[in-house]
Structure 1
Amino acid sequence: MPAPSADWLTDRPQVRTIRAAACDLNGVARGKRMPIPSARKLLTEGTRFPLSALSLDIWGEDIDDSPLVFDTGDRDGTLFPTERGFVPMPWLEAPTALVPIWMYREDGRAYDGDPRHALRFVMERFKARGLTPVVAVELEFFLIDDSGRNLQVPISPRSNKRRKAAEILSIRALDAFDSFFTDLYEACEAMDIPADTAISEAGLGQFEINLVHTDDALKAADDAWLFKMLVKGLARRHGFAASFMAKPYEDYAGSGMHAHFSVLDEEGHNIFDDGTPRGTDVLRHAIAGCLNAMSDSTLVFAPHLNSYDRLVPDAHAPIGIAWAYENRTAAIRVPSGAPVARRIEHRVSGGDVNPYLALAAILGAALTGIEDGVMPPEPITGNAYALDLPVIPTDWGSAIAAFETSELIPRIFPAELIRNFLLTKKQERHYMAELSETEQVEIYLDTV
């Protein structure tokens, strides 16, 4: 993997500090602030911090019974820059750059507890079969005034009014925060995040931005992780909060991260395309793989207590394990359109997911279906919520149990990551039960 060049810093003398950060299991950036001389050293020698730092709980605390902490002396890993290189941080006042890093062991092996490596492992399985996923994500989030006791929609900088209503596909709602979205798109361009269409959604102050598809799934996950960081940081600069928590308002729909993907062969042909709306048998194998792993991987798609407030009937979040053509009530949707663009939309993940883990779970499940040649049940028609379907776990404890006992999850994720993720979620579940609902929302609002 080529290291980023120090020329980036030379060409930008105004940048005075660097953040070197890795993504932990909760999607939180963990790392260090560095002066420029240390940043140059980072490019060639890497940096060090404990292996356990990627498995902290949502409060940033060590896991009580993790073998990574006291049992092994809380030993270090070595972290090196990813191929992403330097990324501006436009939400900060001083010119600053972020260097995304990922973790390795002392002997040079990739650290199996690193979420970015987990996605890389899945991509290597595709590559071994001569296949390349083409991936895009849609990210929903809320703009929130959290200055008072109750969360509410921010006051519009344009009208100086607060409109307490959901407005699906409203240009007025977008224009009400035009300065924020203008700055957001300019920042995405500076950070090489391929932001596409923005719309207003069904929740209070809720919006969605699509990221353009790419044939590099690691970049797609990088883009999603950096985008979440950017939106939250930039919103604070504009005087309000932004959050990807699954469901901040009880009476309105929550936020999801829908993932779209197709798969190309070595000649660049979409293996889901047979020239018709139906798609190939390989498309159905991939769908079957996703359906078969859906219950076991719910903990990845809904990793927090608040995640399960979103997973309720008739709330634009699928809970029935089913697929359909052009049907947004189904967990797996095959969108219409030109056959050459035939793809799968996986609609289960909340906006609060770790993008690396979510894409690894989705693409890994699809590949197991392709490898096994399994076929799904017939596609459904009509309202999935009204049908008698098997359902994913709709509470945190059941999702933890399904993940822990799964026979499919070890085919997707390394054993060390599975262990660490389970220990983290069990600890969070234990301590989250001691908090009031207000305290729970407070921790999720800014972290996820």
Structure 2
Amino acid sequence: MEFLDHLPEAAREFVEGRKLDEVECIVADLSGIARGKAMPAAKFAKQSHFYLPNSIFLQSINGDWVDDADAPFTEPDMVLKPDFTTASAAPWTADCTLQVIHDVFTQDGEMMPVAPRNVLKRVVERYRKQGWEPIVAPEMEFFLVAQNTDPNQPVEPPIGRTGRRAAQRQAYSMSAVDEYGPIIDDIYDFAEAMGLEIDGILQEGGAGQIEMNLRHGDPVKLADEMFYFKRLIREAALRHQCYATFMAKPIQDEPGSAMHIHHSVVDLATGQNIFSNPDGSESETFLHFIAGLQNHLASTIAIHAPYVNSYRRYVRDFAAPINLEWGRDNRTTGLRVPISGPEARRIENRLPGMDVNPYLSIAASLACGYLGLVEKVLPRDPYVGDAYDSAEGIPDTLAAALDLLEDATQIRDILGPDFCRVYTQVKRTENDAYLQVISPWEREHLLLNV
């Protein structure tokens, strides 16, 4: 199997001295779900590509199919080619299995415009044509919850090692993390086998809520890692009879889960952070990037908050932003400048939820910053004090967010008009399906009272 020679070091170590049984050939769909095929390793070794229908990008989270008016529903095949730099162990499987992310092309050899990884690659290429290299560092928040097999029942925190349910309002508590230590141990073990690096794990404010920080680096590589991390975290939780959920707001009266994105940009020629001047002070370029986020993020909220549940996270005084203000070391603003030295100067976008497709959310955030860099406008003054007093600029429903995305000509040009058209259609289909569901709240308060 010659392809084994092209694998990253961690993948080679995983298969060394073992018989490789299976290879999972995967791509992320619009929701970030892994789609693809699993095949015997011997068969994978004999082919350079395989096919999947383009309909995998026309399917909603609830299983409905969108009939794209600009592309009749004949389900033509796309060509998928392995990116061996992404080859990674699937250490939770019973046999020796690798997973490989594939690039998606049309039959004419063009990048499939709707494929999320391609959307991010196109945005990154825009930066590189300007002589810039975008750098991101994502944070991942998620809940460990008790197994919930009846969707009509509320989600509950898991039972910890003490026999009690995980407690809320225990942010940064080491004993709270120890409650589900065996799951954390499996997360670390899986990540090591996969060659993934974790900067740190901590207890967040919600009951059973964890935050995991990743190292900074190339946007596509970090999105690949988040795609993998979501899968391995779910598998680690299932080993211990509980679920890991990345819903933006899974439990009533608990905080939501975010995917904060830290942004910086370096000069390709010098390797220097363009957000800092030679004397270490903030550059005007830094302010341009912030202005791009401030001026364009509203039109991308449908990507950072992609489901009806996502908007339940944007609650005043609940550890989530409700505005497009920016401030220094201020966690009440949607855009935060963390404390750092000049070489690490960055802006943190706190608006995305953890329910996002990481490729798309990072691409949309970078697109906003890019527009700021080329428009060279300045942001509003930094917000001082409690920014929850300012609720400017964020749509409060998925339908309103989609309206803004449809009208955002500049953003649609950067992300790709074909992608934006299909994405909007899929999300409107999901929103329409949600509106057909009658909730317990409606039955409780309206059935006999109105």
Q: Distance in 2 between matches of 1:82 and 1:319?
A: 38
Displacement of 1:147 in angstroms is: 3.8
Distance, in Å, in 2 between the alignment partners of 1:232 and 1:66 is 36
How many residue pairs get aligned? The number is: 430
Task: Please say if 1:151 is aligned against 2:168.
Answer: no
> Is residue 63 from structure 1 mapped to residue 66 from structure 2 by the alignment?
yes
Corresponding position of 2:94: 93
Q: 1:131 to 1:207 in 2, by over 3 A?
A: same
| Contact 1:360–1:412 (CA under 8 A) maintained in structure 2 | no
Corresponding residue number in structure 2 for 1:28: 33
410, 414, 426: which one aligns with 1:412 = 414
Normalization by structure 2: what TM-score? 0.91
Task: Compute the displacement of 1:412 (Å).
Answer: 2.1
Secondary structure of 1:49's partner? strand
Which residue in 1 is equivalent to 2:447? Answer: none
* Same amino acid, percent of matched pairs: 34
Verify the 8 A CA contact 2:166 2:179 in the aligned structure 1. Answer: no
2:348 to 340, 345, 362: 345
Query: Secondary structure of 1:102's match?
Result: strand
Cα deviation, 1:158-211, whole Å, max 9, x if unaligned, reads 323323433100100111111111111121122122211111011111000000
Question: Measured at CA, do residues 66 and 199 of structure 1 come closer, stay the same or move farther in structure 2, by a change above 3 Å?
Answer: farther
Q: 1:95 to 1:4 in 2, by over 3 A?
A: closer
CA distance in 1, matches of 2:235, 2:345: 35
Residue identity matched to 1:210: N
Q: TM-score, normalised by structure 1?
A: 0.91
Q: Map of 1:1-400 to 2, 5 A cutoff?
A: 5=5, 8=12, 11=16, 13-42=18-47, 44=48, 46-65=49-68, 67-70=70-73, 73-147=74-148, 149-156=153-160, 158-214=161-217, 216-265=218-267, 266-274=269-277, 279-387=282-390, 389-400=391-402
144 and 436 in structure 1: CA distance in 2 versus 1, 3 angstrom threshold: farther
Q: Distance in 2 between matches of 1:242 and 1:322?
A: 31
**Secondary structure of 2:46's aligned partner:** helix
Gaps of 5+ in 1: 439-448
For 1:164 and 1:261, the matched residues in 2 are separated by 33
Corresponding residue of 1:444: none
**Gap change, CA 1:48 and 1:280, over 3 Å in 2:** same
Q: Which runs of 5+ in 2 are unaligned?
A: 441-450
Q: Name whichever of 23-32 and 311-320 sits farther off.
A: 311-320
Q: State the shift of 1:223 in Å.
A: 0.8
AA in 1 matched with 2:315: V
Change (3 A) 1:69 1:92: farther
Q: Distance in 2 between matches of 1:98 and 1:31?
A: 10
RMSD, aligned CA? 2.0
| Whole-Å separation in 1 of the counterparts to 2:4 and 2:350 | 35
Structure 1, 296-305 or 313-322: larger mean CA deviation: 313-322
Deviations 1:295-344 (A, max 9, x none): 10000000001101101211111121111111111111111121221111
Question: Contact (CA 8 Å) 2:147, 2:241: kept in 1 or not?
Answer: no
- Per-residue deviation at 1:52? 1.8
Alpha-carbon deviation of 1:408? 2.5
CA separation of 1:347/1:378 partners in 2, compared to 1, >3 Å: closer, same or farther?
A: same
Give me the whole-angstrom Cα distance separating, in 2, the residues matched to 1:275 and 1:176.
47
Alpha-carbon separation, structure 1, partners of 2:317 and 2:278: 34
